[in-house]
Structure 1
């Protein structure tokens, strides 16, 4: 007769040696109903709560996959438990994206049985509340956050690709002595490209110094001798000080610097400061005809005297790129990379390597208790569905 639900009080935690032996022998004494049904759950129970409950009630994971897992966070299956249930086997395993419950038990209503099983487990948490709380004290808390340095770098690189694809420098000056519909269409296309290039160029120009400042602030957050949690006022004062001040004080305020940053004399630092100055001019919308002029025209009273015949419309397109040309921006980008490289050479070798690894991590973890940064997961998560070798009915 098909069952209605699982009685969680009858779950028996197996010695892992039994689990291994049954796997090796593929023993036939284990009860199996005709259909193999896989229950999948994503939103009805928190994996951390279920894990702590199973640890508190039964002990360490005893499933087969627990023997194969590497001592890191990049496993296909992170933990699994195998139980005896009236001669049947029930395995609960946690993947990266879901909980899977494997068993060979027929139920009158599989969806109902699954929902009741999870509900009963959650209701049983209160019976092990003290043990669960004790175990939770051993569990580390890590907050995933967005690395501003990596995010800004990704945006800059994307903008550079878009800008390069526009091929602005390959747009030819129109032949206005042969002005026709074709020329008009070419001018329209050129205008759209220059408009897009102008937007991208301004974005890159304004963002490059922010990219460098994100690097500086990442260093301070990671290496500061007094962090924001110990002395907020001192930390905030340092992080908000002018760039040149911050750079000169890095070796005094932060750990693992084997020498001071020679901000006033190093060429990479000088170039970076120049880029900061350009950014400030743009940021404040300063008007400067001396640096932004693109042509000269003479007037005798109200009579224009041209030095050469040009097309003001097309020349204005060209002028929109002044100071934000692709190669100009690329040179500034390289200058900032040189600046970052120079500052890293002022760090002790091991510290520099760790900082470089963390800078490249888009979603690092932060442990608020130990004040540690960490890379919690591999760059790519792998997922799969176990093939049991027979038709499987999956209940979500």
Structure 2
């Protein structure tokens, strides 16, 4: 037995075998499920004179079993001979290849960003409560240490919490757009998809306009996006905040924290209190953890509302694909769908030999 993982492409050997011998005839074809979630996807049981020859295709490997022992050089000659024989059935092999559906695998950015956002949301919600500074003056060494511990605790919480708030605030509108763009990719009508100018105008439109065009330019919608709902209004407020923050806009009056007067170079604060505690209170006011969490939940509520506008069958298909981290895009029909299982599985047999282990000259 030899496992080939470098010298033969699975699609090449499959098309060659199908061109020569027809449909796969091995026993694994009766065991496999009729989907892409199998260890062995196809196999052939063949005869070469009196010897049995067996080919099986996993995702990226070809397993070859012959009925007699072969030396490393004979294995090498077998692989080279198969590749040379491609030309003999080249026309038929090409027909088989052309008959296959061709997909490109791409990254579903919604899944990646939504996963990051979910982790940030959980970290914000589960963040430790604010630590209060001791109100009495630290008259003893033990009290001073308590103040130091409180300061370290507040600083650590602030570094993690407020950093997560900023990340989530910037990412959740991107997550929403990725969700909308997946709907466009999956359901855009052929008339729009095949018109380059119309399609570019659709995908590049501002978010409110893009939402309005979904039911016009996409199949599968049972009704328009309702702009009169509270979910829509809250979503647009989140997007407006994104537009302000995304460009690094600065509005000191709008974003003011407090008022400080100066006499020459002497700062005169208008708010009394614990200086360090007040500093962290200002950070809390800037990053607004509670508001960020509320905005995140509002975005998800509106995305759910968009999905509810789809017809039941289209919604079921969309839900099947939107959670796939690496969907496929059919090149000829230009349609996105789920093509591979979520789990990546590989079987390794410790006693087996691989083609790149052969002691031969290629």
Distance apart, 1:307 and its partner CA = 4.1
> Which of 208, 232, 248 in structure 2 is aligned with 1:244?
208
| Runs (5+) with no aligned partner, structure 2 | 358-362
User: In the alignment, is the contact (CA less than 8 A) between 1:197 and 1:321 conserved in 2?
Assistant: no
Query: Are residues 269 and 318 of structure 1, via their aligned partners in 2, closer, same or farther at CA, if it must alter by over 3 Å?
Result: same
- Residue 104 of structure 2: aligned partner: 143
1:183-332 → structure 2 map (5 Å cutoff):
183-184=147-148, 186-188=150-152, 190-226=154-190, 229-263=193-227, 265-296=228-259, 304=268, 306-311=270-275, 313-322=276-285, 324-332=287-295
CA displacement 1:77-136 (0-9 Å, x = unmatched): 1011122345332211111242212235223x3x33322221211111111111101111
Query: 49, 63, 79: which is aligned to 1:118?
Result: 79
Query: CA separation of 1:220/1:106 partners in 2, compared to 1, >3 Å: closer, same or farther?
Result: closer
2:20/2:89 contact within 8 Å kept: yes
How big is the shift at 1:157? 1.4
| 1:185-226 deviation line (CA, Å, top 9, x unaligned) | 553454344223332211110111111111222222222225
Q: Of 33, 40, 46, which aligns to 1:70?
A: 33
Give 1:172's match in structure 2, choosing from 110, 125, 132. Answer: 132
Task: Tell me how far 1:288 sits from its aligned partner.
Answer: 3.1
Query: Is the Cα contact below 8 Å between 2:108 and 2:327 reproduced in 1?
Result: yes
Q: CA deviation at 1:177?
A: 2.6
Partners in 2 of 1:351 and 1:217 — Cα distance? 16
Instruction: Name the residue aligned to 1:55.
Output: 18
Change (3 A) 1:104 1:51: same
Alignment counterpart, residue 326 of structure 2, candidates 363, 367, 373: 363
| Cα distance in structure 2, aligned partners of 1:225 and 1:234 | 11
TM-score w.r.t. length of structure 1: 0.79
Tell me the equivalent position of 2:360. Answer: none
Alignment of 1:25-36 (within 5 A): none
Within 5 A, what are the aligned runs for 1:342-361?
Answer: 342-361=305-324
Aligned to 1:157: 118
TM-score for both structures, normalised by structure 2: 0.86
Q: Is the 8 A contact 2:186 2:337 kept in 1?
A: no
Report the Cα offset of residue 256 of structure 1.
2.4
Contact 1:228 1:236 in 2 (8 A): no
RMSD of equivalent CA atoms: 2.7
Please state whether the residue corresponding to 1:82 is helix, strand or coil: strand
Runs of 4+ in 1 over 6 A off after TM superposition: 298-301
Q: Distance in 2 between matches of 1:174 and 1:292?
A: 30
Partner of 1:8: none
The verdict on how the C-alpha distance between 1:318 and 1:240 changes in structure 2, with shifts beyond 3 A counting, is: same
Q: SS where residue 116 of structure 1 aligns?
A: helix
1:78·1:95 contact (CA, 8 Å) conserved in 2?
A: yes
Distance 1:174 1:289, change over 3 A: farther
Distance in 1 separating the partners of 2:277 and 2:83: 70
> Is 1:394 the counterpart of 2:353 in the alignment?
yes
In the alignment of these two chains, the number of paired residues is 350
Flag structure 1 segments of 5+ consecutive residues without an equivalent: 1-37
The alignment partner of 1:91 has SS state of strand
Mean CA deviation greater in 217-226 or 118-127: 217-226
Q: Secondary structure at the match of 1:169?
A: coil
